[in-house]
């Protein structure tokens, strides 16, 4: 699924995690908002979630995912798998056009409406049209020895926002595990 617009990036280093998203909202070729927040804290502050795609669809998915987190006592992986099953099989949910990136202090997952639940192998996840740029930057910062997930996310999304037409550098950042 190709989502046009947005950059969402999550990075986990040890038991610290950060997720950020750009603030740009577009309709077709027009920018209609510069400072939207596409990141939420769920599960009593223990889970970060970000979306790429239609806002109404994403809000529906946030609500459904939070319900799954409650149903499965905060188990991120189980909640993500159950959401993906519902999303793929439900006639109404199946029409939603969005991707979710979710993470806690132990796991990072991308959830799609095709039933995919993908855990990246390097504790870095990215979605949206600016995602590949932010992902490349984050991996380079990690390879260079950076250890602060907040700063990695901030700098990576700024880079993506300077490259991707559908993203900007007005960043919303949330984190877990900060001392």
* Residue from 107, 74, 109, 68 nearest 90 by CA: 68
Q: How many CB atoms lie within 10 A of CB 34?
A: 12
User: Does the active-site annotation cover 6?
Assistant: yes
CB neighbours (10 Å) of residue 95? Answer: 9
Integer Rg of the chain from CA: 15
- Active-site pick, 6, 7, 30, 41: 6
Show the tokens assigned to 155: 């700098």
Residue 79 tokens, joined: 């909640």
Token pair 């577009």 is found at 26
Q: Kindly list the catalytic residues.
A: 6
């Amino acid at each position: 699924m190709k989502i046009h617009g947005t950059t969402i990036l999550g990075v986990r280093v040890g038991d610290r995690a950060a997720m950020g998203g750009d603030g740009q909202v577009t309709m077709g070729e027009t920018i209609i908002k510069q400072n939207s927040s596409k990141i939420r804290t769920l599960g009593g502050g223990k889970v970060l979630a970000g979306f790429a795609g239609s806002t109404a669809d994403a809000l529906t998915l946030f609500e459904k995912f939070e319900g799954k987190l409650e149903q499965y006592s905060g188990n991120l992986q189980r909640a993500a798998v159950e959401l993906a099953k519902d999303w793929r099989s439900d006639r109404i949910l199946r029409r939603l056009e969005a991707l979710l990136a979710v993470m806690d202090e132990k796991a990072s997952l991308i959830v799609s409406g095709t039933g995919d639940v993908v855990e990246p192998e390097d504790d870095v996840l990215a979605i949206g049209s600016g995602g590949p740029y932010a992902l490349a930057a984050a991996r380079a910062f990690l390879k260079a020895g950076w250890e602060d997930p907040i700063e990695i996310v901030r700098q990576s999304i700024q880079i993506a926002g300077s490259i991707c037409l559908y993203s900007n550098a007005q960043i919303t950042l949330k984190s877990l595990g900060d001392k």
